[in-house]
Amino acid sequence: MTPTTSNDPLHGKTLEMIVTHLVEMYGWEELAKLIPINCFKSNPSLNSSLKFLRKTPWARKKVEDLYING
């Protein structure tokens, strides 16, 4: 039996890993321009962003889309 591989680019990635990568790549200011949500604009932090994104599916989708297509 061969192990199956996932075609999902988010497979094995946590939301924390995704946000951290985007912040390292763009910085908070540029990230807030690309995805204009308050958790990126006003006093941004990893913890507050994760808390918001876990409760807000539409915002999480935007972050995941930027990670995939970025």
Cβ 22 vs Cβ 67: under 8 Å: yes
**CATH number of domain containing 46:** 1.10.720.30
Question: What is the span of the domain harbouring residue 47?
Answer: 15-69
Has residue 2 been placed in a domain? no
pLDDT tens, position by position, 45-70: 999 999 999 999 999 999 999 999 98
Has residue 19 been placed in a domain? yes
Which of 59, 14, 9 lies closest to 35, judged by CA?
59
CA distance 28 to 32: 6
Tell me the whole-structure pTM to 2 decimals. Answer: 0.88
Instruction: Indicate the number of domains in the chain.
Output: 1
pLDDT tens, position by position, 2-40: 556 778 889 999 999 999 999 999 999 999 999 999 999
Has residue 47 been placed in a domain? yes
Has residue 9 been placed in a domain? no
